[in-house]
């Protein structure tokens, strides 16, 4: 359930009585707390530092260009080979070799996309756009003997971005998520289990800084990647130390601002980062710990209008539920 943070669910337990009544535990999403990274961690069983999906938009080393890992596009609409960007075997490929059938139920618009091919290689994709269709397709797959079925729902996250978590629209979507989980559980065949989890939580921004207009945040910067709550800042040659100092001074008390080496050594992306992925990380990594969003309205005008954001290492963004139903 995209965006179903554990702290958010706990704050509005009354709107989700089924989920709130389930046994479970709390997991952390990993850094950055964003969909592409978490889906790849779930899909490979690897940490971000191992699978290389280290943020929403990342520099392609040696090209001077940013790659959008969600839309799976480079500037001008050029695409990236999913096997090149994310070469690790998925858990679904490994399951197939072990004779386990994996089914992925999600909107048809995502079938065959670069992100799907990077993180869901090895599944049988079953398109289903409405909640009713998704519930029906999951139950059909389970009755057919499929050993593992994954279903995705993204509208809760979308509502949180546009209207803020806790808003009327977000609460309406939370009731949809709760009812969907209840219906999925009710149709499970004997000897099955349902696990409900999420990719990240969310915070509502109360302050925004325009990283395209603030001179102290633009000097020496070649590319601005990541997203509003987890920025990868790529410096011009020889400017990395100056950029680090400027971003630290500007965001002091509002964000953790570290160098690439510091982020890696601190284990932000996991205990190990593959050498091949190091240059995907910004020379500077800026991660708000207040309710700040570091926006870039020219490059990302829709994101700049958001109310809800995620990506950072706060509990509201990191903590996700792992809830269980067994039959």
- What is the token pair recorded at 65? 């260009």
- What is the token pair recorded at 123? 């599944």
In the chain, alpha helices (H): 6-11, 17-20, 35-44, 48-51, 82-85, 91-97, 114-119, 131-143, 155-163, 168-186, 215-218, 240-251, 260-265, 301-305, 315-318
- What is the token pair recorded at 92? 């679904």
Q: Rounded CA gap, 44 and 236, in Å?
A: 33
Q: Rounded to the nearest 5°, which phi and psi values hold at 185? A: -65, -40
* Fold of domain 207-309: Gyrase A; domain 2 (3.30.1360)
Half-sphere exposure of 212 (CA within 13 A, CB side): 10
Q: Which residue reads 């999913």 in tokens?
A: 82
Whether 119 and 90 have beta carbons less than 8 Å apart is answered as: yes
Whether 188 and 194 have beta carbons less than 8 Å apart is answered as: yes
Q: Rounded CA gap, 125 and 184, in Å?
A: 18
| Residue-wise pLDDT tens digits, 107-159 | 999 999 999 999 999 999 999 999 999 999 999 999 887 789 999 999 999 99
Segments of the chain assigned to CATH 3.40.720.10: 6-46+88-202+312-326
How do 207-210 and 292-295 pair as beta strands?
parallel
Segments of the chain assigned to CATH 3.30.1360.180: 207-309
- Say whether pTM exceeds 0.75: yes
Residues linked to residue 232 through DSSP beta bridges, in sequence order: 225, 285
234 CB-near residues (< 8 Å, 6+ apart): 59, 221, 222, 223, 224, 225, 282, 283
Residue 93 CB coordination number (10 Å): 17
Residue 17 CB coordination number (10 Å): 11
Per-residue pLDDT of the chain in tens (327 residues, 90 and over written 9):
999 999 999 999 999 999 999 999 999 999 999 999 999 999 999 999 999 999 999 999 999 999 999 999 999 888 899 999 999 999 999 999 999 999 999 999 999 999 999 999 999 999 999 999 999 999 999 988 778 999 999 999 999 999 999 999 999 999 999 999 999 999 999 999 999 999 999 999 999 999 999 999 999 999 999 999 999 999 999 999 999 999 999 999 999 999 999 999 999 999 999 999 999 999 999 999 999 999 999 999 999 999 999 999 999 999 999 999 999
Residue 304 CB coordination number (10 Å): 16
Q: Rounded to the nearest 5°, which phi and psi values hold at 261? A: -60, -40
User: Between 3.40.50.2300, 3.40.720.10, 3.40.1080.10, 3.30.43.10, what CATH number should domain 6-46+88-202+312-326 receive?
Assistant: 3.40.720.10
Which DSSP state fits 67? E
């Amino acid at each position: 359930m995209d965006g179903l943070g554990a702290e958010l669910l706990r704050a509005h337990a009354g709107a989700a009585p089924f989920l709130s009544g389930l046994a479970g535990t709390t997991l952390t999403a990993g850094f950055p707390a964003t969909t592409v990274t978490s889906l790849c961690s779930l899909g490979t069983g690897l940490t971000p530092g191992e699978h290389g999906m280290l943020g929403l938009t990342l520099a392609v080393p040696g090209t001077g260009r940013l790659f959008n890992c969600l839309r799976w596009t480079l500037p001008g609409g050029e695409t990236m080979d999913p096997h090149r960007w994310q070469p690790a075997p998925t858990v679904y490929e490994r399951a197939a070799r072990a004779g386990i059938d994996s089914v992925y139920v999600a909107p048809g618009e995502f079938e065959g996309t670069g992100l799907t091919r990077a993180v869901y290689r090895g599944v049988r994709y079953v398109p289903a756009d409405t909640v009713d269709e998704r519930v029906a397709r999951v139950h059909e797959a389970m009755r057919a003997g499929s050993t593992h079925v994954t279903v995705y729902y993204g509208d809760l996250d979308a509502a949180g971005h546009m209207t803020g978590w806790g808003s009327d629209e977000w609460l309406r979507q939370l009731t949809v998520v709760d009812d969907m989980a209840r219906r999925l559980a009710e149709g499970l065949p004997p000897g099955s289990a349902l696990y409900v989890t999420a990719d990240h939580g969310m915070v509502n921004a109360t302050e925004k800084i325009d990283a395209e207009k603030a001179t102290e945040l633009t000097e020496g910067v070649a590319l601005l990647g990541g997203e509003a709550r987890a920025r990868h800042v790529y410096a011009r040659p020889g400017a990395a130390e100056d950029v680090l100092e400027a971003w630290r001074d500007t965001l002091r008390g509002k964000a953790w601002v570290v160098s690439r080496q510091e982020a890696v050594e601190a284990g932000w992306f996991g205990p190990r980062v593959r050498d091949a992925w190091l240059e995907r990380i910004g020379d500077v990594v800026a991660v708000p710990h207040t309710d700040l969003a570091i926006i870039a309205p020219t490059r990302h005008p829709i994101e700049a209008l958001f109310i809800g954001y995620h990506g950072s290492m706060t509990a509201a963004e990191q903590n996700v539920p792992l809830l269980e139903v067994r039959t």
